[in-house]
Amino acid sequence: MITLQNKHDDYLFVKTLDDEDMNRRMVERIEEIGDQLHHTTNVKSDVTLSLLKYPEFQKLQVIVEDFCKESSEKIQKEWWGHHSRVDRPVWNTSYIQTQYCNAMWGVNGVSGEITTPHDHWPSTWSFCYYIDPPEGCSDLFFPTLGYTHKIEHGKLIIFRSHLLHETVSLPFEGNRYCVAGTIVFQMPTLQ
């Protein structure tokens, strides 16, 4: 039996956004639409779907897509044997610049709710963006890494989609708002 180990599983990229108008509008939209999945997925909280049609989420979409492209270039430049790919226009255009957000959803969690361990493979990237998380609520936990990432207001976290992630049940007051989604790339046609 051969065991393969990916030595790059710890690539998480974090950016803090400062756009309170966008944040307010996203929370209002999540509350207005409400729960559409009735706790039937790995997210055992209220989930709002199909957010990409709204301007406030389209704004976040552009930020996330740009951040994923920037982070993809950073990874390629750091990996031995891959650094020259980014400088090849055809490769960069085909694999990095075609990345786009194909799905985005909102989560409105309350005390005691969880998100069970899951991944978003075969997507390339996954992201979580947090708006005013209450004190004492669950952070973002990556069980296969044994790593907990502290969430904060305005924090955007992107990570490779094959990574398992979850939240645990903790008591807190208020609502834990998260906008999450996935990024894929347009596979080029090989000639």
Give me the residue spans of the domains in the chain. Answer: 19-34+43-184
Mean of the pLDDT values across residues 165-189?
93
Residues contacting 14, CB < 8 A, separation 6+:
149, 155, 156, 157, 158
CATH of domain 19-34+43-184: 2.60.120.620
For tokens 């004190």, name the residue: 135
Work out the pLDDT band at 190, boundaries 50, 70, 90.
Answer: low
Return phi, psi of residue 89, to 5°: -55, -40
Helix (H, G, I), strand (E, B) or coil at 116: strand
- Token pair for 139: 């952070």
- Comparing CA positions, the residue from 135, 145, 134, 177 lying closest to residue 43 is 177
- Comparing CA positions, the residue from 116, 117, 110, 120 lying closest to residue 178 is 110
Q: Is residue 83 predicted with pLDDT exceeding 80?
A: no
- Token pair for 62: 């552009």
List, for residues 24-52, the tens digit of each pLDDT value. 999 999 999 999 999 999 999 999 999 99
- Please check whether residue 113 is in contact with residue 44, taking contact to mean a CB–CB distance below 8 angstroms: yes
Q: Is residue 161 predicted with pLDDT exceeding 90?
A: yes
Question: Higher pLDDT residue, 75 or 48?
Answer: 48
Q: Which regions of 25-149 does DSSP assign to beta strands (E)? A: 46-48, 100-109, 115-118, 125-131, 140-142, 147-149
Measured from the Cβ of residue 53, the count of other Cβ atoms closer than 10 Å reads: 8
- Comparing CA positions, the residue from 178, 167, 174, 66 lying closest to residue 129 is 178
Bridge partners (DSSP) listed for residue 167 = 115
Strands 165-167 and 46-48: unpaired
List, for residues 126-140, the tens digit of each pLDDT value. 999 999 999 999 999
Query: Tell me, what's the pLDDT at 30?
Result: 98
Strands 165-167 and 115-118: antiparallel
Query: Tell me, what's the pLDDT at 18?
Result: 97
For tokens 């947090």, name the residue: 130
